[in-house]
Amino acid sequence: MSVALAAPASREWQTLEVTWPPGGDLRVTIRGTGAGNVLGGPFWTELAEVVALAEATDRPGSLILRGHGGVFSRGLDLRWYVTRLRRAARRGGNVLAADARRLQDAITGLARSGRVVIADIDGECTGAALELVCACDVRYASARAWFSLPEAELGLVADLGGLQRLPRLLGEGVVRELVLGGGRIGAARAERIGLVNGGAADLTAFSGRVRAQPGAVLAQLKRELDAPHEESLATGLDRAVRWNTEHALDGLATRMTARLGGR
């Protein structure tokens, strides 16, 4: 029987389902802030909190991140983001930059977790959701999974780490195809090009092997693997936020509202 991970005493999880079966892995299921498990402000707060809770215990197990109801996530909650954009238009771009850095920090915290972080992907995984899974250590996907990074259509530079992490996973040509063209990549091709590591059976086998390893060693191995990339990652994240703040505000709310109408 699964037991719920202890949430902060003052409230329950709003955008996540969090369980940790005895002898198993910490499973974090994204419900998000709207249809398609979209990722609005409360999600990013709770993501940071669940990672912090996982870091506070030496209980063995990976952190497995997945979506609810046959969809990983449609990406950023555009309704929430349009509201933030309109506030930024009134108060200045610093509001937008602060939001972006908060989201970046949540993803960076996940990437820097001492635990092995596994993305278990079914259905759509687009935009900010794709940037999120790029920060996981490994990615496994169902045959129904598909991936896209459509930020360019909205006049945005992806600023949550996808542009910096994707080239570590894929060849340069594939990254440019995905980023510049905004098209879809299905599960079969995603596995061929190295975006995902395999399917559900592979995930089960991998997570079982991870549980048998010393946690302190796993954490240090992750630090060693990440260290050569940290400076360039930080520089790229900052550059993307500054560009969006300076160039993307005009008309962005209109484009996002139009995209919402197509959903």
pLDDT-based confidence at 251, cuts 50/70/90? low
Q: What is the pLDDT of residue 93?
A: 60
Q: How many domains are contained in the chain? A: 1
Whether 10 is covered by a domain: the verdict is no
| CATH code of the domain covering residue 198 | 3.90.226.10
Annotated catalytic residue: which of 17, 49, 124, 131? 131
Whether 1 is covered by a domain: the verdict is no
Beta-sheet strands, E only, within 91-235: 117-121, 124-126, 138-141, 146-148, 185-186
Q: What is the pLDDT of residue 180?
A: 94
Whether 11 is covered by a domain: the verdict is no
For the entire predicted model, the pTM comes to 0.91
User: Distance between CA 110 and CA 237 in Å, rounded?
Assistant: 15
User: Distance between CA 86 and CA 92 in Å, rounded?
Assistant: 10
Residue closest to 253 by CA, chosen among 127, 131, 156, 183: 156
Annotated catalytic residue: which of 46, 124, 151, 191? 151
Least-confidence region, from 77-81, 167-171, 189-193, 251-255 = 251-255
CA distances from 7 to 38, 54, 188 (A): 21, 11, 37
Strands 117-121 and 124-126: unpaired
Q: Which residue has the higher pLDDT, 187 or 82?
A: 187
Whether 168 is covered by a domain: the verdict is yes
User: Distance between CA 130 and CA 161 in Å, rounded?
Assistant: 10
User: Is pLDDT of 145 > 50?
Assistant: yes
User: Distance between CA 254 and CA 89 in Å, rounded?
Assistant: 12
Whether 5 is covered by a domain: the verdict is no
In the residue annotation, 172 being an active-site residue is answered as no
Average pLDDT of the chain is 89
Collect all residues with Cβ–Cβ distance below 8 Å to 79 and sequence separation of at least 6.
Answer: 34, 38, 40, 260
Whether 4 is covered by a domain: the verdict is no
Residue closest to 210 by CA, chosen among 18, 76, 25, 50: 25
In the residue annotation, 153 being an active-site residue is answered as no
Q: Which residue has the higher pLDDT, 132 or 152?
A: 132
Q: What is the pLDDT of residue 220?
A: 97
- Domain extent, residue 123, equals 16-261
Mean pLDDT: which of 5-9, 51-55, 95-99 is highest? 51-55
Whether 232 is covered by a domain: the verdict is yes
User: Distance between CA 185 and CA 54 in Å, rounded?
Assistant: 32
Whether 3 is covered by a domain: the verdict is no
